[in-house]
Amino acid sequence: MSVRAVAAVDLGATSGRVMIGRIGDGRLDLELVSRFPNGPVERADGLHWDFAALYEHVVAGLAEAVRREPGIESIGIDSWAVDYGLLRDGELLAEPFHYRDERTARGVEQVHTVAAFTELYRRNGLQFLPFNTLYQLRVDERLAEADTALLIPDLIAFLLTGSAVAERTNASTTGLLGVQDAEWDAALAERLGIPRSILPPLVDPGATIGALRPELVERVGKGLPVIAVGSHDTASAVVAAPLSTPRSAYISCGTWGLVGVELSAPVLTDAAREANFTHELGVDGRYRFLHNVTGLWLLSETVRAWEADDGAPIDLPELLSAASEVTDAVALFDANDPSLSAPGDMPARIRALLGDEAPTTRPAFVRSIVESIAEAFAQTVRTASALTGRELDSIHLVGGGSLNRLLCQATADRTGLPVLAGPVEATALGNVLVQARALGAAPSTLEELRALVSHTHSPARFTPRR
Ligand code: LFR
């Protein structure tokens, strides 16, 4: 078998990247082509994403990828979930909102007046997150003008190909997809005043969405198909989390820490609803039974505030190393406290939660953040085990957080389970694997794909110390 190549576009909440993925002859690896910053931008009507800039970075990155690797055979796109663009006659009506925009609070109130959370959970199986798409759509002032709603990766695929579809793993984060049948819940949408007609046809990961439009063929340098991947970044990350047994939990850790297990059937119990565990659809009809823990957002927002105070950049690895030298016990806070979710002065908000116990040095403050995240991870792993009746024996921690040794060790210590850290680029690898499988260049089962990841990206092991 020869080595084959694909392009992966992976958009996270703090940065995006375009990568070349190569697979074949026992090899699976990534070449970073471009990385660009991303984040909330404040506009007159609230927090948005700078979508025009993102799209431009994507196209420029694809052109550079093809220049470097003319053998690229396809493109796959993943991003964070829930956010969308509204279109009319193929034109974007407005810049997409950021899920941390506060208008969603009104949406929650209005939706729950029509359909209580218990009913929603029975229908869509989703944990309550105030930004789930259905709450956003409910208060979107452009809704009446729109003929189509597309989630971010689908929107980019549409701009690239002209083909409007909804990839299923990401569609499952809208709150408008039935948890049992994975089809649009038209009755619920209509009750909420969201026209069924704006929801595009569903496709599964592996389907070809379309081919690059002619003007883009010229710019990118080659005609290429866009293949649907697990377009929800967490779905792609879990594809490449090298879980070897059902007794492994995963933590996909970047801005968020997504903590859970993979299931083949939903667990729609009262206990699961009360614990706010979600059923997001995974690749190959699996369920990602997980809970959102606030992840590295707490650290990145804290560093951002300190950099603004200092007027100079902070060396994060140095700060983390100083934090790991802290020997005194630090006070913990609830990483999931709602006061920490909007952008702003994070150190002040954390200090408000910690009160008199707030550490006074930066290393100790960072230590408190990392330990608080690890403690929330540990509690969530225990809850996942209790809700599924599965005794867990290991945790695969993938994504950017897998490079944070302090966090990996603290998670091992606080769960009492070994943490297998990596791959750091699990999301892009999952994106590449699903494209490669569709092209006939990778094995067919998830288990075989994960075995390939484990073989080519051997995880680092953190053993619990207490
Ligand atoms: C992670 C993620 C989470 C989702 C959150 C908001 O990047 O996709 O899975 O809950 O972002 O979309």
Tens-place pLDDT, residues 138-158: 999 999 999 999 999 999 999
Catalytic residue flag (residue 78): no
Q: Which of 78, 140, 154, 233 is catalytic?
A: 233
In percent, how much of the chain has pLDDT > 90?
99
Instruction: Give the atom of ligand 1 at the shortest distance from the alpha carbon of 232.
Output: 8
Mean pLDDT of 44-65: 98
* 371 in the same domain as 262: yes
What are residue 208's DSSP bridge partners? 227
* 193 in the same domain as 293: no
Mean pLDDT of 357-361: 98
Ligand 1 centroid distance, CA of 26 (Å): 31
Residue 86 lies in a domain: yes
Question: Residue with the nearest Cα to atom 6 of ligand 1?
Answer: 81
* 136 in the same domain as 93: yes
Residue 447 lies in a domain: no
pLDDT tens by residue, 83-94: 999 999 999 999
Residue 218 lies in a domain: yes
Q: Using alpha carbons, list the distances in angstroms from residue 50 to 39, 94, 135.
A: 8, 11, 21
The per-residue pLDDT for 178 is 98
Is the interface score ipTM higher than 0.90? Answer: yes
pLDDT tens by residue, 378-395: 999 999 999 999 999 999
Residue 446 lies in a domain: no
* 138 in the same domain as 25: yes
Ligand 1 centroid distance, CA of 80 (Å): 5
* 254 in the same domain as 183: no
Ligand 1 centroid distance, CA of 99 (Å): 9
The per-residue pLDDT for 458 is 97
To test ligand 1's pocket by mutation, which of 131, 229, 233 has the most ligand atoms within 8 angstroms of CB?
A: 233
Q: Under 8 Å CB-to-CB from 45, ≥6 apart: which residues?
A: none
* 221 in the same domain as 365: no
Residue 429 lies in a domain: no
Residue 346 lies in a domain: yes
The per-residue pLDDT for 244 is 86
Instruction: Give the atom of ligand 1 at the shortest distance from the alpha carbon of 129.
Output: 10
Pick the last residue of a domain from 184, 200, 232: 232
To test ligand 1's pocket by mutation, which of 173, 229, 398 has the most ligand atoms within 8 angstroms of CB?
A: 173
Can you give the pTM of this predicted structure?
0.98
* 201 in the same domain as 294: no
* 222 in the same domain as 257: no
Per the structure, how many domains does the chain have? 2
Residue 461 lies in a domain: no
* 302 in the same domain as 223: no
Closest by CA position to 152, among listed 50, 22, 223: 50
The per-residue pLDDT for 1 is 57
Pick the last residue of a domain from 232, 253, 268: 232
User: Which residues, judged by CB distance below 6 Å to any ligand atom, belong to the binding site of ligand 1?
Assistant: 12-13, 80-82, 99, 232-234, 254-256, 258, 292
Average pLDDT score over the chain = 97
The per-residue pLDDT for 33 is 98
* 267 in the same domain as 196: no
Instruction: Give the atom of ligand 1 at the shortest distance from the alpha carbon of 80.
Output: 8
* Residue with tokens 């990996």, as numbered in its chain: 408
Instruction: Give the atom of ligand 1 at the shortest distance from the alpha carbon of 131.
Output: 6
CATH code at position 70: 3.30.420.40
pLDDT tens by residue, 14-46: 999 999 999 999 999 999 999 999 999 999 999
The per-residue pLDDT for 129 is 97
Question: Residue with the nearest Cα to atom 8 of ligand 1?
Answer: 80
To test ligand 1's pocket by mutation, which of 49, 258, 288 has the most ligand atoms within 8 angstroms of CB?
A: 258
Pick the last residue of a domain from 399, 422, 445: 422
Question: Residue with the nearest Cα to atom 7 of ligand 1?
Answer: 80
* 259 in the same domain as 130: no
The per-residue pLDDT for 250 is 98
Instruction: Give the atom of ligand 1 at the shortest distance from the alpha carbon of 256.
Output: 1
To test ligand 1's pocket by mutation, which of 292, 300, 341, 427 has the most ligand atoms within 8 angstroms of CB?
A: 292
Mean pLDDT of 173-184: 98
Ligand 1 centroid distance, CA of 409 (Å): 24
Mean pLDDT of 38-65: 97
Ligand 1 centroid distance, CA of 258 (Å): 8
Residues spanned by the domain of 390: 243-422
Residue 143 lies in a domain: yes
* 278 in the same domain as 216: no
